[in-house]
Amino acid sequence: MKELLGVIDASENHIQLKEITKNRSIAAVPIGSRYRIIDFALSNMVNSGIQDVGIITQNHYNSLLTHLGPGKDWDLNRKRGGLFIFPPYGGSDSQGWYRGSVDALHSIMRFIRRSEQEYVLVSGTYMVFSFTYHDVLKYHIDNEADITILYKEKKGMTPDEFKQNTLIKVNDCGRVVDMEINPSLPRFNNIYMNTFIIGKDLLDYLLDECQSRGESDFVKDILLRKLSSLKIYGYKFNGYLACINSINAYYRYNMDLLNSDIREELFIKSGPVHTRVMDVVPAMYSENACVKNCIVADGCIIDGNVENSILFRGVKIYKGAKIKNSIIMQDSEVHENAILENVILDKEVIIRRSKNLIGQEIYPVVISKGAVI
Amino acid sequence: MKELLGVIDASENHIQLKEITKNRSIAAVPIGSRYRIIDFALSNMVNSGIQDVGIITQNHYNSLLTHLGPGKDWDLNRKRGGLFIFPPYGGSDSQGWYRGSVDALHSIMRFIRRSEQEYVLVSGTYMVFSFTYHDVLKYHIDNEADITILYKEKKGMTPDEFKQNTLIKVNDCGRVVDMEINPSLPRFNNIYMNTFIIGKDLLDYLLDECQSRGESDFVKDILLRKLSSLKIYGYKFNGYLACINSINAYYRYNMDLLNSDIREELFIKSGPVHTRVMDVVPAMYSENACVKNCIVADGCIIDGNVENSILFRGVKIYKGAKIKNSIIMQDSEVHENAILENVILDKEVIIRRSKNLIGQEIYPVVISKGAVI
Amino acid sequence: MSKKECIAMLLAGGQGNRLGLLTKNLAKPAVPFGGKYRIIDFTLSNCTNSGIDTVGVLTQYRPLKLNSYIGNGQPWDLDRLDGGVYVLPPYMKGKVGEWYKGTANAISQNIEFIEQFNPKYILVLSGDHIYKMDYSKMIEYHREKHADATIAVIETKLEDANRFGIMNTDKDNRIYEFEEKPKNPKSNKASMGIYVFNWNTLKNYLIADDKNAKSEHDFGKNIIPQMLSNGMVIYAYKFKGYWKDVGTLQSLYQSNMDLLEFPPIFDLYDPTWKIYGRNQGLPPHYIAPSADVKRAIVSEGSSIYGTVRHSIISTGVFIDKSSIIKNSIIMPYARIGKNTLIEDSIIAEKVTIGNNCTIGRRPDGKARQIELTLIGENAKIPDSTVVEKGMEIDSVMLQDIYDLYQNDAKEAKAL
Amino acid sequence: MSKKECIAMLLAGGQGNRLGLLTKNLAKPAVPFGGKYRIIDFTLSNCTNSGIDTVGVLTQYRPLKLNSYIGNGQPWDLDRLDGGVYVLPPYMKGKVGEWYKGTANAISQNIEFIEQFNPKYILVLSGDHIYKMDYSKMIEYHREKHADATIAVIETKLEDANRFGIMNTDKDNRIYEFEEKPKNPKSNKASMGIYVFNWNTLKNYLIADDKNAKSEHDFGKNIIPQMLSNGMVIYAYKFKGYWKDVGTLQSLYQSNMDLLEFPPIFDLYDPTWKIYGRNQGLPPHYIAPSADVKRAIVSEGSSIYGTVRHSIISTGVFIDKSSIIKNSIIMPYARIGKNTLIEDSIIAEKVTIGNNCTIGRRPDGKARQIELTLIGENAKIPDSTVVEKGMEIDSVMLQDIYDLYQNDAKEAKAL
């Protein structure tokens, strides 16, 4: 896909997951035992054969920078092209914090203009799915579209998720004919996936026009306004979509990964999900381990009981500990006879002997990074 | 040199070279046909076998980031350790722009503390020299010194250079007994080279103490004050030193490179000076070329006359052009019959046919990047 | 290229006959180990962790997978600008080429390669040992002793000493005699096959040895004895810690099982001495509600629906419901069907085992030395197959068995 | 490993006899070219620039320097996680090993390597051609034509066609006949030795060819004619642009000299098609006040105090005062003394030439075909030596000459 430049807008600081996003952006939030949320958006591009990817970051970008490094693990540390990370204030075009997606994109317009590609694929990170974009680009070109946006039918999603999203109406030809932004009671059937393809020159023109009017939101100030004047097409995505825009959604979608079909679709079908390689040993199960329905990363040492849970790298579960319906992030430890249920432990948390933490499925308890309880 | 952590403080924005530092830090200023000033400080560390290097940057760090990339060209793109670049606001410890060297170092103290090394070598960039630090570290340890600073006898240097520098007095045992900062008429004989070795824990303590008193300058607020309470030793450097703290010094020291002995010392004796590899073809001399006493980088095409000059990569000199005593940076072009004398052209300058630019040796004409004249 | 203090030469040429079918299509150092590693990972990681950034891997037997596995050396941080890892096969000089004739000859044929780096010391390593060792300390010892050569030794039980090359040393650990598998060992210091040499000294011995038609061109049998008889200064460097030569199926199996001991005999969890390997980019492993996993190592990308006891489950393995894996090593990407029992077995890479099979069942009530069963790479074992204890089976044999069966069937019909 | 659309196999095995002493210690693709390159840089850069990220380099002759030069592939951006560049020597399978017997056999011995990547197409390249070509366009053409094989051809003068493998095609460029060096060529389409094959098809032909004891196992002589006779669809892909087989000393010299043409016949200055090579990290070159350099290519790290005319000066070369270099190639790190004349010569790597020498002087007033003089790698030419036109000299010969001289002197004394 030499024609497609990838851009990931990871400056989405309107998405907050309680303590989990206190010191990291949503893009850097750990998910699925060994990944970060951005791994999906980035791997989708790499698996589509996209060779140049720019990532726009905003506040708390440190953990994201550490995670991405020079892009080796995505094979994007190339001599020409590869991975470009834009910290705020980085581009000489930028004038401070981004008010919205238009500011964010505009700040890297020089990078986009200089690229060799004709089209730009822009994606966010908090919509998690695995997909390759060959067909979308073909669809875009065949339709002679100005913009092609990805959408999925909303069925199966909860009202919570609509509130922070855009719903669209698509006619029989695939043209997007109407949109509603963050509705409480949506009239339309399709959720916009924060991902679109656009010609480089058109993007340049639209961003400039929008900025010159003092506006800053790509969906509200560009897509919605231009529905009739531009040919905006919708590409229907039929796969699995996780929209991680709240702590509940985060919890629920992690638990989804215990379903083998969903794992198959996310991790295998569209190619591997690349992530930072940590060189950790395989997981070790002791004589006392009792593990049921869990996904477990390398480096775990399990001497206790774990059920319906997600264990990240290097987690230690001591003898007699009982863990149920929980997410335990990297290097956390649950000591002897502690009981956890419906809990999210951030990284490097220590739960001392015989402590209990019980949350509810619709209100999981969240423990901040490094806490000792 | 597994015991030594390298830190380059490239936040030196008190050093300004007219238009040349308008959009780049002094560390990123081009020098010697194919280098940037920071290449020397960084290569010194790499050639000393230092494996982890942190670089502190401040404003205009974009060209520096592009130049360094992930550190491949210095073999510092390692799995563990290697090159760490700290943009301002990058560390969660930092609270804004650095007031001075203490702020700069303090902002990366977490990085320093976490390192495996026992000692830290801190260096600036605008003092250009080629050296390896094995003997300095041995000297530091043998003396049981608290801090060891590098100095060179001032003879041969001009009064201009003292004004922005520190001069020191060293006793027979090598102890630094007095210092004077930016003197107009110096009483001491030795110039401090902005480079020192210190124990990691001591550095931590001193920075914290200094910051807690609201002070910010490492030389004035730490070195000078602690002359008696700490064992501060001077290590005498006997090699070639270029102190690039003004446009005149910049011009003069570039011209120094036409001296073969100086080139031998800078580029060969202490190991190669690594820089960004650009994959440019060798230089091409036409039938009409007449070149005398010049250093010329790859990628130049020379069809005219050049004397006593420094040509950077990709420079084009057309037929009949006459260039003398000048520095022509990357991708600049001098068209037919133009005449340049005592001129510094920044990158991508175009001098049209038959234009003349004549400066003076002590006042070279400087043309900004991208200018067309 | 700049001068290097020390470069390592890793002998990875052996065919590894004693690993049976495992090395039929695979160089020994590329054999999987410990769930997600290959044998060579340990030596390469030791090099990186010891600060040795230039490693020549000498290989002539089926190096393809090894070559691809090593690739650009990035997983071991050996993708260096100046140095890094090089796979060194035999090559033609002028009109003739010759294969490596012994460990010493393999180094000797690569004198030119080594000279490029102009090293002071050379570290000779084997590609089939499992251990963690800081070579920089051994080199430091070698330097301090002003030795011409230093040999790493491990203290064995005296009764085992007759299976090793034994170093007889003076009080200062200087070696005065070397005995290959002595009947009456005078010492328990066994050579680990790890040598440091002053390169200039070794080079001369290699050149001389090459001209000696009677020599087997082997370090232990020829070079070291020759150096000793010339009065060269050779020291023994005592190594303490876990070390295992995994040159036989039995020792490979045992060394894998050692990883399951708790507290560990051989600890891979030390963050200051990571073992690096090529990562496959697989998702985390999944333990199903029907699974029962105890005393096991389980690697990324596997899915377990059955029972696992005291076993190593490698990357990408699938174990279906109601199956039982006991005291076994399941190598990468093997797939085990439903209701199958596997005991005391090594199941090689990409093997498929059907439903209702029994592989290597241990006779009831008898506790004696484990007799291993081995299913070779890519073999497809049909449903309801019984593989008896101690057998070694690969896909070609399976075809033979099948043909035989067809023949029998034909003949039966003909009758 | 993931499936690759196309992988490249680069034939770099040849000894390159016709490059004389230049390849005495060096594989042909590692011979320096154009000041800072080596011959193989052009093909590897073409691969990278064409988006082909997996390249096998088949080599068996003195691959050390080539191996070190290629290293981890980083200079050509071929240090990929999955793919990249692999040096592929012959290897042992079971007890036996065999050297590559021909171009086709070299590929055939690496079927297993290729299968790992499961490619749809395979691009077969030579390691000793100088050209810039976008292989992705050729593959696209191959795909559009639904061809089984596609061969790149260049149109030569009809009178030269008898020195090439000539493709006779129909109007659509489909090849119906292949003639090796025909006396009466029917076409001027010469094979460039660049092939695209459907891998599955080629594999079958390779396996069949290997079993044919009469075959020379060569693409041009055996595989292509066999495919044609079986009615396979083979197309010719016309290449326009600079292309030179630098398999002889004369053509290597000429191709270097072509770089000095202005406007360039072969343009290396195109930023969209960079030629990559391993960078030596040398300082810029220096032209002294006493120097006079015209019509020359001068590379990093050299210092010129003398006169250079119509010559290639490579990296790290030193040319002292009052010396004159004319119509010559001075390869990396050569050092030329004072007051020395070099004409129509190739001075190989690391040669040292003393003061007051005359190398390859052209007889006055005679303008005819250039007869080259070659000084081989590492040779040290003493002061005041005269090397006559057309000679090839290396350090070993110099020793012989010296011994001879000593003998003569002794005999003279004895008399």
When the pLDDT of each residue in chain B is averaged and rounded to a whole number, the result is 91
Q: Return the residue of B nearest to A277 by Cα.
A: B79
Residue D94 confidence (pLDDT) above 70:
no
Residue C400 confidence (pLDDT) above 80:
no
Dihedral angle, C-alpha B268, B269, B270, B273, nearest 10 °: -20
**Under an 8 A CB cutoff, do A286 and C295 touch?**
yes
| Interchain CB contact of D33 with B (< 8 Å) | no
Residue C369 confidence (pLDDT) above 70:
no
Residues of A in contact with B65 (CB under 8 A): 90
Tell me the HSE value of B344 on the side-chain side, using a 13 A CA sphere: 28
Residue C119 confidence (pLDDT) above 90:
yes
Residue A352 phi, psi dihedral angles, 5° rounding? -70, 170
Residues of D in contact with C59 (CB under 8 A): 91
Provide, rounded to the nearest whole percent, the portion of chain D with pLDDT above 90. 58
Provide, rounded to the nearest whole percent, the portion of chain C with pLDDT above 90. 58
Report the pLDDT averaged over residues C231-241: 95
Query: If we measure between CA atoms, which residue out of A135, A126, A119, A110 comes closest to residue A192?
Result: A126
Residue D1 banded pLDDT, cuts 50, 70, 90: very low
Residues of B in contact with A62 (CB under 8 A): 90-92
What is the DSSP code (8-state) at residue D282?
P
Residue D88 confidence (pLDDT) above 60:
yes
CB C57: neighbour CB atoms within 10 A? 27
**Under an 8 A CB cutoff, do B299 and D269 touch?**
yes
pLDDT tens for C257-285 read 999 997 888 988 888 899 999 888 899 99
Report, in this order, helix, strand and coil percent for chain C, each rounded to 5: 25, 30, 45
| Interchain CB contact of A91 with B (< 8 Å) | yes
Three-state secondary-structure class, residue B54: strand
**Residue ranges, CATH 2.160.10.10, chain B:** 284-367
Report, in this order, helix, strand and coil percent for chain B, each rounded to 5: 25, 30, 45
Residues of A in contact with C44 (CB under 8 A): none
- In the stretch 307-336 of chain A, residues with CB closer than 8 A to chain C read 311
Higher local confidence (pLDDT), A20 or A93: A20
**Using CB atoms, which chains have 3+ pairs under 8 A with B?**
A, C, D
Residue B94 confidence (pLDDT) above 60:
no
Contacts of C204 (CB under 8 A, 6+ apart): none
| Interchain CB contact of B118 with C (< 8 Å) | no
CB B296, CB B313: distance < 8 Å: no
Three-state secondary-structure class, residue C194: strand
Residues of A in contact with D82 (CB under 8 A): 75
| Interchain CB contact of B155 with C (< 8 Å) | no
**Topology (CATH level 3) of domain A4-269:** Spore Coat Polysaccharide Biosynthesis Protein SpsA; Chain A (3.90.550)
**Residue ranges, CATH 3.90.550.10, chain B:** 4-269
Chain A nearest C-alpha distance from D80 (Å): 6
Residue B162 confidence (pLDDT) above 80:
no
Provide, rounded to the nearest whole percent, the portion of chain C with pLDDT above 70. 90
Which pLDDT score, from 0 to 100, does residue C408 have?
65
**Under an 8 A CB cutoff, do D93 and C63 touch?**
no
Residues of A in contact with D74 (CB under 8 A): 79
Which pLDDT score, from 0 to 100, does residue A124 have?
93
- In the stretch 17-36 of chain A, residues with CB closer than 8 A to chain C read 32-34
Residue C413 confidence (pLDDT) above 70:
no
Q: Which two tokens stand for residue B137?
A: 């570290």
Of A162-171, C58-67, C176-185, C344-353, highest mean pLDDT: C344-353
Query: If we measure between CA atoms, which residue out of C150, C168, C140, C154 comes closest to residue C219?
Result: C150
Which pLDDT score, from 0 to 100, does residue D332 have?
96
Provide, rounded to the nearest whole percent, the portion of chain D with pLDDT above 70. 90
**Under an 8 A CB cutoff, do D286 and B288 touch?**
no
| Interchain CB contact of D77 with A (< 8 Å) | yes
Residues of C in contact with D73 (CB under 8 A): 72
Residues of D in contact with C72 (CB under 8 A): 72-74, 79-80, 84
CB D17: neighbour CB atoms within 10 A? 11
**Under an 8 A CB cutoff, do D81 and A80 touch?**
no
Which pLDDT score, from 0 to 100, does residue D93 have?
62
CA distance B299 to B314: 4
pLDDT tens for A3-30 read 899 999 998 877 888 888 888 889 999 9
CA distance A39 to A65: 13
Residue A178 banded pLDDT, cuts 50, 70, 90: very high
The enclosing H or E element of D342 equals strand D341-343
CA distance D252 to D262: 19
Helices (H) and strands (E) in chain A, counts: 9, 26
A-D CB pairs within 8 A amount to 12
pLDDT tens for A101-133 read 888 898 889 899 989 899 999 999 999 999 999
Which pLDDT score, from 0 to 100, does residue D403 have?
67
Q: Shortest CB distance from C285 goes to which of A268, A283, A292?
A: A283
Q: Return the residue of C nearest to A299 by Cα.
A: C269
Three-state secondary-structure class, residue D55: strand
Which pLDDT score, from 0 to 100, does residue D19 have?
79
Lowest mean pLDDT among B358-362, C148-152, C290-294, D37-41: B358-362
Q: Which of D2, D91, D282, D333 to mutate to test the interface with C (most CBs of C within 10 A)?
A: D91
Report the pLDDT averaged over residues B23-46: 94
pLDDT tens for C298-325 read 999 999 999 999 999 999 999 999 999 9
Lowest mean pLDDT among A227-231, B301-305, C375-379, D19-23: D19-23
Residue B1 confidence (pLDDT) above 80:
no
Residue C129 confidence (pLDDT) above 90:
yes
**Topology (CATH level 3) of domain A284-367:** UDP N-Acetylglucosamine Acyltransferase; domain 1 (2.160.10)
CA distance D33 to D277: 11
Which pLDDT score, from 0 to 100, does residue B91 have?
40
The answer to whether the peptide bond before residue D263 is cis (omega within 30 degrees of 0) is yes
Residues of D in contact with C333 (CB under 8 A): none
B-D CB pairs within 8 A amount to 102
Residues of B in contact with C77 (CB under 8 A): 78-80
Which pLDDT score, from 0 to 100, does residue B96 have?
53
Q: Which two tokens stand for residue D37?
A: 């390159």
| Interchain CB contact of B3 with C (< 8 Å) | no
- In the stretch 259-278 of chain D, residues with CB closer than 8 A to chain A read 276
Residue A94 confidence (pLDDT) above 50:
no
Chain C nearest C-alpha distance from D72 (Å): 5
Residue C93 banded pLDDT, cuts 50, 70, 90: low
The enclosing H or E element of A148 equals strand A147-153
Q: Return the residue of D nearest to A47 by Cα.
A: D2
Q: Which two tokens stand for residue B340?
A: 């340049």
Which pLDDT score, from 0 to 100, does residue C18 have?
73
pLDDT tens for A22-80 read 888 899 999 999 999 999 999 999 999 999 999 998 877 778 888 988 888 898 888 77
- Type of residue found at D409: A
Report, in this order, helix, strand and coil percent for chain D, each rounded to 5: 25, 30, 45
Q: Return the residue of C nearest to A316 by Cα.
A: C269
Give the helix ranges, DSSP H, for C89-184: 103-108, 111-117, 135-144
**Under an 8 A CB cutoff, do D51 and A271 touch?**
no
| Interchain CB contact of B63 with A (< 8 Å) | no
Which pLDDT score, from 0 to 100, does residue B90 have?
45
Higher local confidence (pLDDT), D413 or D180: D180
Report the pLDDT averaged over residues D25-43: 92
Report the alpha-carbon angle C351-C352-C354, nearest 5.
145
CA distance B255 to B342: 11
When the pLDDT of each residue in chain D is averaged and rounded to a whole number, the result is 88
Residue C134 confidence (pLDDT) above 60:
yes
Chain C nearest C-alpha distance from A319 (Å): 13
Residue D60 banded pLDDT, cuts 50, 70, 90: confident
Residue A206 confidence (pLDDT) above 60:
yes
Which pLDDT score, from 0 to 100, does residue B92 have?
39
Residue D266 confidence (pLDDT) above 70:
yes
Residue A91 banded pLDDT, cuts 50, 70, 90: very low
Which pLDDT score, from 0 to 100, does residue A284 have?
95
**Under an 8 A CB cutoff, do B89 and A89 touch?**
yes
CB C304, CB C321: distance < 8 Å: no
**Using CB atoms, which chains have 3+ pairs under 8 A with C?**
A, B, D
**Under an 8 A CB cutoff, do A72 and D82 touch?**
no
CB B258, CB B294: distance < 8 Å: yes
Report the pLDDT averaged over residues B277-304: 95
Which pLDDT score, from 0 to 100, does residue D262 have?
79
Residue D370 banded pLDDT, cuts 50, 70, 90: confident
